[in-house]
Amino acid sequence: MDAGNSKTDVALLGADGSVLGTARGGGFRPPVVGVRAAVDALAETVGRAHAAAATTPDGDGSAPRTPAPVRQVMACLANADLPVEEEQLAAALTERGWGERVTVHNDTFAVLRAGLTAHDGDAAPRGVAVVCGAGINCVGIRPDGRTARFPAIGRLSGDWGGGGGLGEEALWHAARAEDGRGEPTLLRTALPAHFGLDSMYALIEAMHLGRIPYARRLELAPVLFAVAARGDAVADALAARMAEEVVTMAVVALRRLELLEEEVPVLLGGGILAAGHSLLDDRITRLLEQRAPHAVPRVVRARPVLGAALLGLDALGTPVAAHERARHYFEVRHPAGSAGRGLRASRRTVEGHSG
């Protein structure tokens, strides 16, 4: 299962990589609703995936399947940011009796594994992934099982950026440009215009009074990048810092895993990095070329549940053919884009290597 803040995908697979049943549910937010309620919501989605597996006939038109007992539950969960949180969530899932063995990872690991293609070697996955959606996170893995990760719980753990952070920075600079405390920026008019308002004062009031939910600041990252592309100095500086943060996390993870001197994929996922903002993409590519010249950057657009499925097959030690079967199901029959598509400057290097 891949459970993010806004949605959950559950897939039931055979050990041969065949997908027997799938289901989609709502977000996984234990900090908001509590662990028990969050796992209850997962249980409903898991139940529907089992029901789909039980009622789906085999391809030859024979009777519906009766899936065997689950050997491995691989749960890639948002808000499992610290090892202690992974342990707590693993215990909560184990209590449900969904399988013989339960493993919990942060959901960033699902993006990492989804982006590691057959060309990278399913038998020995290695690579680093930076995920930049509402927030920012980074993980890495070596074939020997060593991992690199960050707490990634916001400013408290030293993080900067993501859609939420960029939205907050854009609002801050635009507000100061409005009243004269800050330097001029096109963000002053572009941000309120996004919400159909005529001034930053009007936008500040609307957000403060709740007429526009503060959570909608996540919508402002594309506005910021569009303004940066017009040559606005303030917006451009924020885009440059976002690229710096992405590359810094990737390089630190590569160094921890002793992979700086090897050709290794650096996978970029999440709404900010998968959106194709050329200004951001080009800067990330240039910085990686300078600081990690052996890294091969590429964007991951495959559904993260594919990564959770591949991690589950890894844990069972299944043949590479099983990985291929699972990858084919999610990338061909149920795509959400393409895994392994490179950034503009490096696309020629990695094109054609997706599973």
Reported as a single tens digit per residue, the pLDDT across 257-274 is 999 999 999 999 988 999
Contact 139, 149 (CB under 8 A): yes
Strand partners, 26: 7
Residues found in the chain: 355
Distance (Å, whole) CA 173 – CA 187: 8
Q: Which of helix, strand or coil describes residue 123?
A: coil
- State the average pLDDT over residues 68-79: 93
Q: What tokens appear for 87 in the block?
A: 């342990």
**In angstroms, what CA-CA distances link 54 with 12, 68, 305?**
10, 10, 20
- pLDDT of res. 60: 46
pLDDT (tens digit per residue) in 133-176: 889 999 999 988 899 999 999 999 999 999 999 999 999 999 99
**Strand 19-26's sheet: what is its strand order?**
19-26, 7-13, 2-3, 72-77, 101-106
**In angstroms, what CA-CA distances link 29 with 25, 41, 72, 78, 155?**
12, 10, 23, 7, 19
Among the residue ranges 118-132, 218-232, 286-300, the one predicted with the least confidence is 118-132
Radius of gyration of the chain (CA): 21
Distance (Å, whole) CA 151 – CA 139: 10
Banded pLDDT at 5 (limits 50, 70, 90): confident
320 has a pLDDT exceeding 70: yes
Closest to 86 in 3D by CA, of 102, 72, 98: 102
Distance (Å, whole) CA 8 – CA 180: 45
Closest to 263 in 3D by CA, of 314, 305, 298: 298
